[in-house]
Chain A
């Protein structure tokens, strides 16, 4: 799960391997804030699988790559 300077850099880094998923750093920040912002809350509870899938879905990350087990 890495940051790159551009999609060209990802392609070169993959070197022919199958790509995973690419999103903008702005989208990643939205995802990180939705996913982690409660982590230090005194009333924290583990996220259910459905809760995390909803976070992904609501950000438009809906293809099979982003389906949680």
Chain B
């Protein structure tokens, strides 16, 4: 990946973690000494490279995987904040990316009952739970929001 893309990508991720939310193009532009239009252009390239996901209607960040920029069914407490994961895999991925223990809260899609568990030293403390992935790996990026 081009050095310029990597730089903007890394600033974007660093700011997401610092702010606890997705940064705007203007915020990243200020930190990276670029214009907002330049940041938006780089973000579109990163989106095409599957390095982040933009909201197609607004060009704002929708996912900086494993982090979600919008509320989801997967809430994660780690490193002193609450985060949203894009899915169950990403919820655990937030603990992995932050290199932190954490707590994950969601609900069973079948019965709606609350699910909450802690992750300590990379291990979930409720091993009765199971993960189901509906879409085969070959098609994950056909519609990443659905996946």
Contacts and interface: CB of A to CB of B under 8 A. Distances in A.
A binds B: yes
Interface of A: 1-7, 9-10, 12-13, 17, 19-33, 35-37, 39-40, 42, 44-46, 56, 64-69
B128 A23 contact: no
Chief secondary structure at chain B's binding surface: mixed
Contact of B115 (A5, A24, A40): A5
Interface stretch (B25-33, B35-43, B89-97): B89-97
Contacts of B119: 29
Interface residues of B, number: 53
A40 B97 contact: yes
A22 B133 CA distance: 6
Contacts of B14: 40
Given A9-B111, A32-B92, A37 B129 contact: no
